[in-house]
């Protein structure tokens, strides 16, 4: 659980999906209806890519085969989306894709939060992420040594506290004393990428799984380089230094608390067909093919 909490920033939550009086065998409930899959961040980023790939296939696994429509609801680092999800009518027709770190923002009393994370029904996560920091060649930072020696703080983009891009950079700054300035307010990693390409930012820290797909062109051209992995243990995906420190250990100790909060919120009445879909289904060949196709499109 420690590894997953530190590395996973994507959480799919359906508000009260298991509260309804229908069962998984009730094929008529979703027939002719539309499920909204709402993403907390802007189009073109990792969350958006995950959601649109899942949205193309989800319908066939839900009894009644409802239509799936993917939408984006950005702002305040995902808080606007989470507040909307909490206040939305619990009719089983809305799924949200947001950052799991927002739960800790609630615990720490962040401003603007109007939701109670214990009352969401968590369905699952599209993947387990490995967080890295990527900097542009134009920034002049091509190694940890040059980063430590930077005379000015290196500008990183973020969506806001609770989002991986913001939290990862701040943890590295506190743990290692790296010169970093986090500029929050971007609506997603796609917007951060555009700002980095224009020279507004030096780079960003978030999931390698998102970087390698949505920033592939810059990585392949050498305009952007991965400098460090921001995780407790070295991941096999890249030959890069993985820095362990007191700050990371603190994050690791928080994970059992996070797990307990989620487990305490899970109702015993998990009969909703959509919940069972996420729990029981495995990626099919067509889903894998679609995922590869999505990655090819994003590389262009």
Between residues 71 and 255, the one the model is more confident about: 71
> pTM of the entire structure?
0.75
User: For residue 149, what pLDDT band results from cuts at 50, 70 and 90?
Assistant: very high
Give me the mean pLDDT over the 263-273 stretch.
Answer: 40
At residue 67, the pLDDT reads: 97
- Min mean pLDDT across 52-66, 99-113, 144-158, 242-256 is at 242-256
DSSP code string of 125-168: -S----EEEEEEGGGT--SHHHHHT-SSPEEEE-S-TTSHHHHH
Mean pLDDT of the chain: 77
- Please report where in the chains the tokens 């950079």 appear, as a residue: 169
pLDDT 10s digits, 217-235: 999 999 999 998 876 666 5
Same fold, 8-127+255-299 and 131-248: yes
At residue 239, the pLDDT reads: 58
Domain boundaries, the chain: 8-127+255-299, 131-248
At residue 26, the pLDDT reads: 58
Helix, strand, coil shares of the chain as percentages rounded to 5? 45, 20, 40
**Architecture of the domain whose range is 131-248:** 3-Layer(aba) Sandwich (3.40)
Burial class (CB in 10 A: 0-12, 13-18, 19+), 73: buried
Domain 8-127+255-299 is in which class? alpha beta
At residue 108, the pLDDT reads: 87
At residue 10, the pLDDT reads: 35
> CA-CA distance, 26 to 22, in Å (whole number)?
6
Cβ–Cβ under 8 Å, residues 131 and 163: no
Residue 136 above 90 pLDDT?
A: yes
Cβ–Cβ under 8 Å, residues 78 and 160: yes
pLDDT over 70, % of the chain: 68
Kindly list the distances between the CA atom of residue 277 and the CA atoms of 41, 187, 273, in Å, as whole numbers in the listed order. Answer: 24, 30, 6
Give me the mean pLDDT over the 35-58 stretch.
Answer: 93
Give me the mean pLDDT over the 196-215 stretch.
Answer: 93
Burial class (CB in 10 A: 0-12, 13-18, 19+), 292: exposed
At residue 184, the pLDDT reads: 96
- Min mean pLDDT across 25-39, 40-54, 141-155 is at 25-39
> CA-CA distance, 129 to 3, in Å (whole number)?
10
Name 293's Cβ contacts closer than 8 Å, sequence gap at least 6. Answer: none
């Amino acid at each position: 659980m420690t590894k997953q909490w530190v590395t996973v920033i994507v959480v799919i939550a359906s508000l009260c999906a298991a509260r309804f009086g229908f069962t998984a065998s009730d094929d008529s409930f979703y027939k002719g209806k539309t499920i909204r899959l709402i993403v907390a961040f802007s189009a073109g980023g990792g969350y958006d890519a995950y959601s649109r790939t899942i949205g193309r296939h989800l319908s066939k696994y839900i009894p009644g085969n409802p239509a799936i429509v993917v939408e984006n609801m950005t702002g305040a680092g995902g808080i606007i989306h989470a507040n909307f999800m909490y206040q939305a009518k619990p009719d089983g027709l809305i799924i949200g894709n947001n950052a799991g770190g927002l739960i800790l923002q609630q615990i720490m009393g962040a401003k603007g939060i109007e939701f109670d994370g214990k009352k969401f029904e968590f369905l699952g996560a599209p993947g387990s992420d490995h967080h890295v920091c990527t900097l542009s060649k134009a920034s002049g930072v091509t190694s940890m040594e040059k980063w430590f020696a930077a005379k000015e703080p290196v500008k990183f983009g973020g969506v806001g506290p609770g989002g991986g891009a913001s939290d990862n950079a701040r943890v590295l700054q506190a743990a290692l004393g790296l010169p970093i300035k986090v500029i929050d307010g971007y609506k997603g990693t796609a917007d951060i990428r555009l700002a980095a390409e224009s020279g507004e930012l030096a780079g960003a820290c978030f999931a390698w799984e998102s970087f390698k797909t949505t920033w592939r062109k810059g990585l392949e051209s050498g305009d952007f380089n991965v400098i460090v992995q921001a995780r407790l243990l070295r991941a096999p995906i890249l030959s890069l230094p993985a820095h362990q420190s007191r700050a990371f250990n603190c994050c690791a100790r928080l994970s059992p608390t996070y797990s307990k909060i989620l487990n305490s919120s899970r109702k015993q009445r998990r009969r909703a067909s959509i919940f069972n879909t996420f729990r029981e289904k495995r990626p099919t060949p067509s889903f894998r093919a679609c995922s590869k196709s999505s990655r090819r499109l994003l590389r262009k």
